[in-house]
Amino acid sequence: MIKGIPVSQGIGIGRVVLADAGEPVWNPEKAVDPNAEKDRLHHALQRFNEKTEHLAKSIEQAEDASRTSDSSQAEILRGHIAMLADPFLISQMEEQIAGGKCAEDACYAALSMFESIFMQTEDELMRQRAADVRDIRRRMLQILTGTEPAPLGDIPEGSVLVAEEVTPSMLAEVNRKNLSAIAAEKGGNTAHSAILARSMELPAVYSAEGLLRSVKQGDLLVVDGMDGKVIPNPGQTELEHYQTRQKEELERKAQLEIFRNRQTKMADGQKKEVFCNIGTPEEAAAALEKGGEGIGLFRTEFLFTEKSTMPDEETQFQAYKTAAECFAGKPVIVRTLDVGGDKQIPYLHMEKEENPFLGFRAVRFCLKNVQLYETQLRAMIRASAFGNLMIMIPLVTCVEEVRSVKSLVKKIMCQLDGQGIPYNKELKVGIMVETPAACQIADLLAEESDFFSIGTNDLVQYTMAADRGNPKVGYLNRPMHPAVLRSVRHIIACGKKAGIPVGMCGEAAADPLLTPLLLAFGLDEFSVNPSAVLQTRAQIGKWTGEKAEKIAEDVFQMKTAEEVEKYLKSI
């Protein structure tokens, strides 16, 4: 058994198909004719674009045939085309060739520089974008060296894709019907291929160290996407155990389908909402298809990290407009740029700080970079004319920050009025409550805000003074700690008293153990990963207000996270 990270739930059983993600070898010779090498480079760029666009269109045609609406695969591939078309990147390659390098060396050097930029950040989301750069680099070098591998489209039914690192282009080639699961030695939850695995509902385990040494082509493999285990060549008893679990999981998923187009209600009829968290406008369609009743968190930083320069107003406007139109009047909450801390964007040239999590980040950075912020706010406000878009401010710690943002919004609205540009006159501006300061003055902030959304990931981190990226203090980073639960209850109570809706967009919103507590506190909206929508809706439907409140009363007699967790697991 090999332990890894579960990145997509389910149990998959099948025969190993090894995918080679390695880069070809070439002779790094000095370019005799720089012009000829530039021609080779540009021919390779053109072939890359043609092949990638062909893959994207093939995916879209397959989706049309099956009447699905998940275009994330095609859009991720087109994102690779956009990344490789970046003028700065191409100029770097051409400069390398002018300096005497062959096209292969130039391509490798320029893309490796981009990879290094992504890898140097502590943000896991940003680090996983380095995998996309490696995918692009590998495919470009294969084109330049004439070593393009055979496509994966002909893999047999019941295959498990195994690689050192699974890439979006690999998954684009594979026939989904023939794939049972995915396993890889590298990667994490935020890798694009992990996002695709979840959208394709394929069990997947990444960071399974030693996997390639333990399997060979055609081996039987079990991939446990629930517990993060990979089992090569299981014995009969073990195989039967996982076959039973696989059958039970499939039955559970089938039962959840009855919740797909239902309104979210508690057992006693109280109405709630299940929204989705997304990172790109293309993911909005997948969220709608999965049964999301709105978007509770659109992370706009992805629009900034996918490029080497800041996206202009029109680019941002189109992204926000796409999401707003997709949900046709249902809420779409767009978070303004949450940069800094563990999210570094190289071209913004942010100064290195001793403690970036407590430093110049999120709304603090935006309010000091007004031109950047006004561009984003203007794009959001314009997009509000095409749906029920709302603006959310991250990392709020004081009333002044909310007032400053609302002042900028009002200023931009006046400008748009003067230009005759439409927008939603009733546009709502709310805040992400994720700091102890915001929790302590939640009553004051509620008077300034149109809605609250609790960001439990950071709220837990700051409340417990425990870095969520540090495994040594991972035992403290628990939403079931009494300090965190009291904070969440207080925030919701303040929102309720002020008459504003309160949602939650952190990981805790999808934790079934916490559902009765959140219902007892009065949470209105649960915003989760699209793949967790049906499960969350089903969990909400199990509880009456009376039963949930009784559980909350019991929990608040407990003094440790361990006691709370043990009790919630027992009910």
Tokens of 467: 């870095």
DSSP 541: T
232-241, pLDDT tens digit by residue? 999 999 999 9
Question: In this structure, are residues 276 and 530 in contact, taking their beta carbons and an 8 Å threshold?
Answer: yes
- State the catalytic residue, choosing from 107, 366, 494, 505: 505
Residue whose pair of structure tokens reads 């053109």 in the numeric block:
46
d(CA 70, CA 76): 11
Q: Residue 407: exposed, middle, or buried by beta-carbon count in 10 A (0-12, 13-18, 19+)? A: exposed
pLDDT of residue 526: 98
Q: Is 192 a catalytic residue?
A: yes
The chain-wide mean pLDDT, for the chain, equals 89
> Which range is least confidently modeled, 28-32, 44-48, 78-82?
28-32
Rounded to whole angstroms, what are the CA distances from 82 to 48, 53, 121, 133, 159? 11, 11, 22, 12, 32
d(CA 326, CA 102): 46
Q: Residue 305: exposed, middle, or buried by beta-carbon count in 10 A (0-12, 13-18, 19+)? A: buried
pLDDT of residue 307: 67
212-239, pLDDT tens digit by residue? 999 999 999 999 999 999 999 999 999 9
Q: Percent of the chain at pLDDT above 70? A: 92
162: closest CA among 200, 234, 213, 198?
213
Query: Above 50 in pLDDT, residue 17?
Result: yes
DSSP 469: T
For CA atoms 19, 37, 81, 375, the dihedral sign is positive
Tokens of 503: 């949602």
Q: How, if at all, do strands 11-18 and 159-163 pair?
A: parallel
423-472, pLDDT tens digit by residue? 999 999 999 999 999 999 999 999 999 999 999 989 999 999 988 767 68
Please tell me whether residue 565 adopts helix, strand or coil conformation.
Answer: helix
On whether the pTM is more than 0.75, the answer is no
Helix 482-498 / helix 456-464 crossing angle, nearest 10 deg: 130
Q: What does the radius of gyration of the chain's CA atoms come to, in whole angstroms? A: 24
Categorize the per-residue pLDDT at 71 as very low, low, confident or very high, splitting at 50, 70 and 90. low
Question: In this structure, are residues 357 and 311 in contact, taking their beta carbons and an 8 Å threshold?
Answer: no
- DSSP for 45-64? HHHHHHHHHHHHHHHHHHHH
d(CA 59, CA 71): 8
Q: Is 54 a catalytic residue?
A: no
DSSP 352: P
Q: Which helix (H) or strand (E) holds 137?
A: helix 124-145
Helix 72-84 / helix 124-145 crossing angle, nearest 10 deg: 70
Rounded to whole angstroms, what are the CA distances from 526 to 165, 456, 493, 516? 33, 12, 16, 12
Categorize the per-residue pLDDT at 279 as very low, low, confident or very high, splitting at 50, 70 and 90. confident
Summarize the confidence of residues 487-494 as an average pLDDT.
98
Residue type, position 557, single letter: Q
* Strands of the sheet with 11-18, listed across from one edge: 2-3, 229-232, 220-224, 11-18, 159-163, 179-184, 204-206, 5-8
Question: In this structure, are residues 205 and 223 in contact, taking their beta carbons and an 8 Å threshold?
Answer: yes
d(CA 383, CA 336): 14
Summarize the confidence of residues 23-31 as an average pLDDT.
75
514-532, pLDDT tens digit by residue? 999 999 999 999 999 888 8
d(CA 136, CA 146): 15
Summarize the confidence of residues 87-112 as an average pLDDT.
90
Query: Above 50 in pLDDT, residue 70?
Result: no
DSSP 384: G
- State the catalytic residue, choosing from 107, 192, 276, 326: 192
- DSSP for 274-328? EEEEESSTTHHHHHHHTT-SSEEEEETHHHHHTSSS---HHHHHHHHHHHHHHTT
End-to-end CA distance of the chain: 32
Query: Above 50 in pLDDT, residue 541?
Result: yes
Query: Above 80 in pLDDT, residue 28?
Result: no
Summarize the confidence of residues 482-506 as an average pLDDT.
97
DSSP 267: T
Q: Percent of the chain at pLDDT above 90? A: 61
144-159, pLDDT tens digit by residue? 988 877 677 778 999 9
Question: In this structure, are residues 204 and 183 in contact, taking their beta carbons and an 8 Å threshold?
Answer: yes
pLDDT of residue 469: 65
Categorize the per-residue pLDDT at 79 as very low, low, confident or very high, splitting at 50, 70 and 90. confident
Cα atoms in the Cβ-side hemisphere of radius 13 Å centred on 156: 8
Summarize the confidence of residues 191-205 as an average pLDDT.
84
pLDDT of residue 3: 93
Query: Above 80 in pLDDT, residue 58?
Result: no
pLDDT of residue 375: 97
307-342, pLDDT tens digit by residue? 667 889 999 999 999 999 999 999 999 999 988 755
pLDDT of residue 201: 85
Please tell me whether residue 190 adopts helix, strand or coil conformation.
Answer: coil
Question: In this structure, are residues 161 and 173 in contact, taking their beta carbons and an 8 Å threshold?
Answer: no
